Amino acid sequence: KAPSGLVMDFYKESCPQAEEIIREQVKLLYKRHKNTAFSWLRNLFHDCAVESCDASLLLDSTKKTISEKETDRSFGMRNFRYLEDIKDAVERECPGVVSCSDILVLSARDGIVSNGKEVERRKGAHSVGRTHCVKLVHRLYPEVDPALNPDHVPHMLKKCYDPLPDPKAVQYVRNDRGTPMKLDNNYYVNILENKGLLMVDHELAHDPRTRPYVKKMAKSQDYFFQHFSRAIALLSENNPLTGEQGEIRRHCNLANKRVSED
Ligand code: HEM
Ligand SMILES: [Ca+2]
Ligand SMILES: [Ca+2]
C-alpha cells in the first residue's frame, strides 16, 4: 500500500520462508503455552497504538532510559522471551533480514488465528486473558462499585480477597469467564451485563457514542469478526519505519549499537 510504504510479502526475495517460520513458531508456542497468543495481541496494541509500529515496546531499559515494558501501562505483560524465540528461529534461516516490528505484527496475526481462527475489534481483545487484582481492587474495596453486576462480584471478591494485593502476586480474574481462551464477541455480551472488569470496559458499554456498536457486536459474531479484523489491520499499519529508516535488530530487546558495546 503506497501511502504507508508497506507492501505484502515484503520478504518474498530476501527471506521467502520468513512468514512460514513465524507461523510455525507461533503455533508451536501456542501448543505449549496458550497464553502466548494473548501476549502477541496485546503487544500489537501497545507497540502500534501510541506512535508507531516500531517494536519500541520490546526494548530493554538502558542506563539512560526506562523501557516501555517497565512502565505501568505495560503492567502484566508477559511472554516477551518467547518472542525472542521466534526471532531466533527467523535469524537462523535469514540472519539480519527480518525486522522485529514485522515479527511483532505477524506473530499477533498468527496468534489471533491460533486463538480460535477468529478475529475481532479494539478492546474486544479483553475477551481473552486476565487482569491482576491490583488493577481491580479499587472497584471492590472499600465498597463494591454499584456499576458491577452483583452476580459477578462474589467471584471477583473470591479471587481478589486482599484489598491491598502485592503487585507481584499472581492473583487475577479472567477477563471473560464465559470463553476465557477464545477471542470472540462474548466480551461485548459481558460488558452489556456489567461484567467488564476494567473501567474502560464499563465505559465502552455505557458511553452513548459506543453503546450502539457494543450492542451490534454482542448480537453478531460475524459483525464482530469483520470489524475487529479491520481494526487490527489498521493498528498493524500505524506509522511504520520503512525504507532506510530504522534497523534490523539482532535481538529484539536491544538496539544493535548496544549489542556491540556489551
Ligand atoms: C484504553 C484501552 C485499554 C486499557 C486501559 C487496557 C488495560 C489492560 C489491563 C489493565 C489489562 C490487565 C493486565 C494484567 O493485570 O495482567 C489488560 C489485559 C489485556 N489487554 Fe488491554 N487495555 C486496553 C485495550 C486493549 C486493546 C486495544 C488490546 C488489543 C488489541 C488489548 C489487549 C489485551 C489483552 C490480550 C490482555 C490480556 C493479557 C494477558 O492475559 O496476558 N487491550 N489490558
Ligand atoms: Ca512503538
Ligand atoms: Ca472470549
236 shares its domain with 218: no
Q: 44: which 3 cell numbers?
A: 500489537
Alpha-carbon span 3 to 20, nearest angstrom: 27
Residue 8 placed within a domain? no
Give yes or no: residues 57 and 186 share one domain. Answer: no
User: 228: Cβ below 6 Å to ligand 1?
Assistant: no
Mutate which of 34, 131, 171 for ligand 1 pocket (most atoms within 8 A of beta carbon): 131
Asked if the model's pLDDT at residue 3 lies above 80, the reply is: no
Residue 4 lies in a domain: no
Cell of 9: 510479502
Among 42, 81, 229, name the best residue to mutate to test ligand 1's pocket (greatest count of ligand atoms within 8 A of Cβ).
42
Which ligand ends up closest to the CA of 121?
1
C-alpha cell at 84: 525472542
Q: Which atom of ligand 1 is nearest to the CA of 132?
A: 15
User: Can you give the CATH number for the domain in which 207 is found?
Assistant: 1.10.420.10
Q: Are residues 158 and 199 in the same domain?
A: yes
Q: Give per-residue pLDDT as tens, 198-219.
A: 999 999 999 999 999 999 999 9
In sequence order, what DSSP letters do the residues of 165-181 get, joined into one string? Answer: --TTS--EEES-SSSTT
Mean pLDDT, to the nearest integer, of 87-91? 98
128 and 169 share one domain = yes
| Same-domain check for residues 68 and 35 | yes
User: Do residues 84 and 180 share a domain?
Assistant: no
Domain assignment present for residue 47? The answer is: yes
Determine whether the shortest distance from the Cβ of 79 to ligand 1 is under 6 A.
Answer: no
5 domain-assigned = no
Provide the annotated active-site residues.
Answer: 46
Query: Is 194 inside a domain boundary?
Result: yes
Cα of 17 from ligand 1 centre, angstroms: 31
Which distant-in-sequence residues (6+ apart) come within 8 Å of 6 by Cβ?
237, 240, 242
- The CA-CA-CA angle for residues 51, 4, 41, to 5°, reads 50
**Range of the structural domain that residue 202 is part of:** 124-229
Query: If you count them, how many residues does the chain have?
Result: 262
**Domains identified in the chain, total number:** 2
Q: What is the pLDDT of residue 126?
A: 95
Is the minimum distance from the CB of 200 to ligand 1 under 6 angstroms? yes
Please check whether residues 110 and 240 belong to one and the same domain: yes
- Co-location of 33 and 47 in the same domain: yes
CA-wise closest residue to 20 among 84, 94, 79, 116: 94
Query: 153 and 134, same structural domain?
Result: yes
| Whole-structure pTM value | 0.93
Considering the domain architecture, whether residues 156 and 99 belong to the same structural domain is answered as no
From the CA of 154, how far away is ligand 2's center (Å)?
Answer: 38
- What 3 state SS string does 106-155 have? HHHHHHHHHCCCCCCCCCHHHHCCEEEHHHCHHHCCCCCCCCCCCCCHHH
- Report the pLDDT averaged over residues 40-63: 96
Domain check: are 82 and 170 in the same one? no
